[in-house]
Amino acid sequence: MSCLSKIGLLALVLALANPVATRAQQAGTSKYKCMIQMTNYMGEGAYIVVSLINPKGAYEKTLYVLGSDKKWYPDLKEWHKALAKKTSNLSAITGASVSGGDRSVTMLDLDPTKIDKGYKLRFESAVEDNKYYVKDLEVPLTAEGLSAKSEGTGYIRYVRFSAN
């Protein structure tokens, strides 16, 4: 392949990739790496949903779901009830459930205009034939909250964030 052909191919690839980056920037979100460390519980993998909670305490948006088998979503009772009220489809990213002692690292897209405005990130968890935690962990969506290690109260030992 000639040098000119390689340059043309590179230009085409960059032209096709640029709109994806532009859309992400236009969406007005910032990416945060979210590390969830689980406790050493016994049982099946935990289903965890990460939701944006507005200042009035209502579900605003599902950010991430750990556990891709939809038949278990009703076990996340409060989230599932809030989801049923919405007319839109679930648009969050999903990943595998997380077992006792394991950790999961995911990327969350957070709207920077909601930081320090009274919003929270709720981590709701459930394990088959075990207890359900509606608020395993709630992290204030503040600069301080996103930089601290936050302790869970159920299956989640702690969560840490880092700006990406």
111-132 pLDDT, tens digit per residue, is 999 999 999 999 999 999 899 9
Going from N- to C-terminal start, the domains of the chain cover 28-163
Compute the half-sphere exposure of residue 92: CA atoms within 13 Å on the CB side of its CA: 24
Instruction: Give the residue ranges of DSSP H helices in the chain.
Output: 3-26, 77-85, 143-147
Dump pLDDT digits (tens) for 75-102: 998 998 888 876 555 556 677 889 999 9
pLDDT score at 96: 83
More confident residue, 77 or 3: 77
pLDDT band at 27 (very low <50, low <70, confident <90, very high): low
Say if residue 22's pLDDT is above 50.
Answer: no
User: pTM of the prediction?
Assistant: 0.79
28-163 maps to which CATH number? Answer: 2.60.40
Could you count the other beta carbons within 10 Å of the beta carbon of residue 129? 7
Give CA–CA dist 24/107, Å, rounded.
13
Please state the rounded mean pLDDT for residues 24-50: 86
What one-character DSSP code corresponds to residue 127?
Answer: -
